[in-house]
Amino acid sequence: MQKLQPKIKDVAHVAGVSTATVSRALTQPERLSETTREKVFDAIRATGYRVNKAARNLRTRRAGAVLVLVPNLGNPFFSTILSSINEVLAANGYSVLVFDSQQPSAPGQVVSDYMLNGSVDGLITLDGNVSSAMGDTLKNAHMLGNVVFCCEWSDALPLPSIRSDNALGARLAVDHLFALGHRRIAHVTGPADNILAKVRRAAFEARCAELGLTVAPEWIIPGDFTLASGAHAAEQLVAMPERPTAVFCASDEMALSLISRCKQHGLSVPKDLSVVGFDDLEIAGFVQPSLTTIRQDRTGLGRRAAEELITRLNSVQPQEISRIVLSPVDLIIRDTTATIGP
């Protein structure tokens, strides 16, 4: 009873046509006469035929798949983006492979492998820390044109990048706090080597300077986007002799845990401390007090990145031109920010 998967030959036999005709019915049905087409489709239904992807991929030299490189899949920020990438790619007939770049194996190596061995046609990377070695490898294989950055990016690689207007986000946060009367504003950063962290911090400092605010060095508190680092930052904050009246955190997760830890130390948010986050995770609106934050259009970012990649994969002319799409950000004012006390 070991009935094998039917192949195109079996369908051809049942339909009484050649394999070429069956193949055409699959890929360019309009080129067949109506009667033949029907015959073939009937045979396909009758046999339960499914095309063999490996054979098709070998012949067409395409994979019909895209790799998404995610730094830390466990982070809800990325998984939402992944979801919308999946949606667009699936709608266009592409499969989605994922790889978590936190994996022990060298991600650059792994990614090059996927791209060069034909497992995928393109790459969307949410991780900006891609090695230049990987860039070189892909360039040599003429595959660099099939890479798109999403959210994070690398200035070393001139590739299209779909990202939020991070600098604007930081400015909005500072302006909001400034308008509320705050003059002593701290900042909890992301990882030092992260491009988002760098941009947000730089814009934070620049805006403070523009507004004539001095930022004491100790008010720049190092974090790494995680919950744990937010709590740690809170400890440093409460220990300061001259405590800032507001904090701008480079991620919502840090903001949430910072608030929680501050409360444990008897500080009340927003009365004693105003807090602004970044990302607008869904939960930001479902905590008490709800979090004032900078919203990123995560769904849009994923969608646009996927569309950009598809465009490039479909275009015959390889275009390695860097194109930057800045997705707008919004200040979402909720309950963790208030005017400075009397």
Answer whether 279's CB lies under 8 Å from 262's CB: no
CB 125 → a second copy: shortest distance, Å? 15
Residue type, 176: H
Residue 319 binds: one of a second copy, DNA, none (C-beta under 5 to 8 A by kind): none
Residues between 61 and 80 with contacts to DNA, criterion CB under 7 A: 61
CB neighbours of 295 closer than 8 A, spacing ≥ 6? Answer: 279, 280, 329, 330, 331, 332
Q: Is 45 in the site for DNA (CB under 7 A)?
A: no
CB 89 within 8 A of CB 35: no
Q: In angstroms, give the least distance from the CB of 181 to a second copy.
A: 25
21 vs 101 by CB, closer to a second copy: 101
Among the listed ranges 19-27, 77-85, 244-252, 280-288, the one in contact with DNA (CB under 7 A) is 19-27
**In this chain, which stretch among 13-21, 67-75, 126-134, 201-209 interacts with DNA, using CB under 7 A?**
13-21
Q: Which partner in a second copy, DNA, none is near 267 (CB below 5 to 8 A by kind)?
A: none
> Which listed option, DNA, a second copy, none, makes contact with residue 32 (CB within 5 to 8 Å by class)?
DNA
Interaction of residue 2 with DNA, rule CB under 7 A = no
- Helix (H, G, I), strand (E, B), or coil: what is residue 179? helix
Q: Which stretch binds DNA (CB under 7 A): 9-17, 73-81, 87-95, 161-169?
A: 9-17
* Residue 21 interacts with DNA (CB under 7 A): yes or no: yes
Q: How far is the CB of 19 from DNA (least distance, A)?
A: 5
Burial 111-131 (b: 16+ CB within 10 A, else e): bbebbeeeebbbbbbbbbbbb
> Tokens 């790619």 belong to which residue?
89
Angle between helices 195-210 and 166-179 (to 10 degrees): 40
337 in Cβ contact with 276 (< 8 Å): yes
The residue among 74 and 341 lying less far from a second copy, judged by its C-beta, is: 74
Choose which of 263, 300, 313, 330 interacts with a second copy (CB under 8 A).
263
CB atoms within 10 A of CB 322: 13
Count CA atoms within 13 Å of residue 6 on its CB side. 17
Binding site partner of 73, from DNA, a second copy, none, Cβ cut-off 5-8 A by kind: a second copy
User: Which residues, other chains included, contact 43 with Cβ-Cβ below 8 Å and sequence gap of 6+?
Assistant: 11, 12, 14, 15, 22, 49
Task: Give CA–CA dist 256/64, Å, rounded.
Answer: 40
Looking at residues 40 to 99 of the shown chain, list those that interact with a second copy (rule: CB under 8 A). Answer: 48, 50-55, 57-58, 63, 65, 72-76, 78-80, 82-83, 86-87, 90-91, 95-99
Q: Are 305 and 150 contacting, i.e. CB atoms less than 8 angstroms apart?
A: yes
Burial class (CB in 10 A: 0-12, 13-18, 19+), 296: buried
Calculate helix-pair angle for 132-140, 107-116, nearest 10 degrees.
10
Say which entry of a second copy, DNA, none residue 257 contacts (CB below 5 to 8 A, set by partner kind).
a second copy
Answer yes or no: are the C-beta atoms of 225 and 191 closer than 8 Å.
yes
What is the greatest pairwise CA distance in the chain? 89
Q: Does 260 bind a second copy (CB under 8 A)?
A: yes
Summarize as ranges the residues that interact with DNA (CB under 7 A): 4-5, 7-9, 16-21, 23-24, 26-27, 31-33, 35-37, 49-52, 55-56, 58-61
Summarize as ranges the residues that interact with a second copy (CB under 8 A): 2, 5, 48, 50-55, 57-58, 63, 65, 72-76, 78-80, 82-83, 86-87, 90-91, 95-100, 102-103, 105, 110, 113-114, 116-119, 140-142, 227-228, 230-231, 253, 256-257, 259-261, 263-264, 282-283, 285-288, 290
